[in-house]
Chains A and B, each alone.
Chain A
Amino acid sequence: GDSVTQMEGPVTLSEEAFLTINCTYTATGYPSLFWYVQYPGEGLQLLLKATKADDKGSNKGFEATYRKETTSFHLEKGSVQVSDSAVYFCALTQGGSEKLVFGKGTKLTVNP
């Protein structure tokens, strides 16, 4: 079945450091790809998405590019802030369904 693999954390960075969280997927068709963020005690918020190959999703300084050749959707941010501390989930949907298949999540802590 479809699956998502993302780098396991936790990841600890200093403020203004560069962030990369790796995400790769396995899917039989042409999935749509998502990054969600979860702040402590809260639900999931959509950070960005891409629905076809070579699409770049971006939001709040975060970016990810849908790479079909490497089946990847890595999350990047050039300069992280303390407020970016959260758990980040990579996910996909496929076909006529909205069933999200999630990775296990990566906890990011940004220190001042």
Chain B
Amino acid sequence: KAGVTQTPRYLIKTRGQQVTLSCSPISGHRSVSWYQQTPGQGLQFLFEYFSETQRNKGNFPGRFSGRQFSNSRSEMNVSTLELGDSALYLCASSLASFSGNTIYFGEGSWLTVV
């Protein structure tokens, strides 16, 4: 059974550009969430989606957006990139959206903004 797949794994962007990251959850999983990991701030929650609906959103500016498709695949977009957006972006999936559920993570997309 394939795990959570994130693409691209590595990318370099210039300040002011935008970026789209993609996540394919484990087959059958309907819940997808995104996290940003940086050395200074640690792991911070971005969004949570279930059946194409955003259920929860973290404390990030509006430049960060996401969506989920009918096949549960998800994308996140960051517009007008800033140097501080350089981070590892992690996607996670699970069968359903409730506390205590087992949540599986992908290997992440490493974004460098120069």
Contact = CB atoms under 8 A, between A and B. Distances in A.
B29 to A, nearest CB: 11
A12 interface: no
A97 B100 contact: no
B100 A32 contact: yes
Contacts of A36: 105
A105 B42 contact: yes
B97 A96 contact: yes
Contact of B35 (A31, A51, A100, A105): A100
Interface residues of A, number: 26
A101 B103 CA distance: 13
Determine the interface band of chain B, counting residues with CB < 8 A from chain A: 20 to 34
Contacts of B100: 32, 49, 51, 93
Interface string B58-85: 1000000000000000000000000000
Given A44-B90, A98-B31, A100-B35, A89 B48 contact: no
A94 interface: yes
Contacts of B42: 102-105
Given A46-B102, A104-B42, A105-B42, A99 B108 contact: no
A45 interface: yes
Contacts of A49: 100, 102
B114 interface: no
A18 B81 CA distance: 45
Interface in B33-67: 33, 35, 42-43, 45, 48, 55-56, 58
A59 to B, nearest CB: 12
B99 A89 contact: no
Given A43-B108, A89-B43, A105-B42, A98 B101 contact: yes
A99 B56 contact: yes
25 contacts: A32-B99, A42-B107, A46-B102, A46-B104, A51-B99, A51-B100, A89-B43, A93-B100, A96-B98, A96-B99, A97-B48, A97-B97, A98-B33, A98-B56, A98-B97, A98-B99, A99-B45, A100-B35, A100-B43, A100-B45, A100-B103, A101-B45, A102-B42, A102-B43, A103-B42
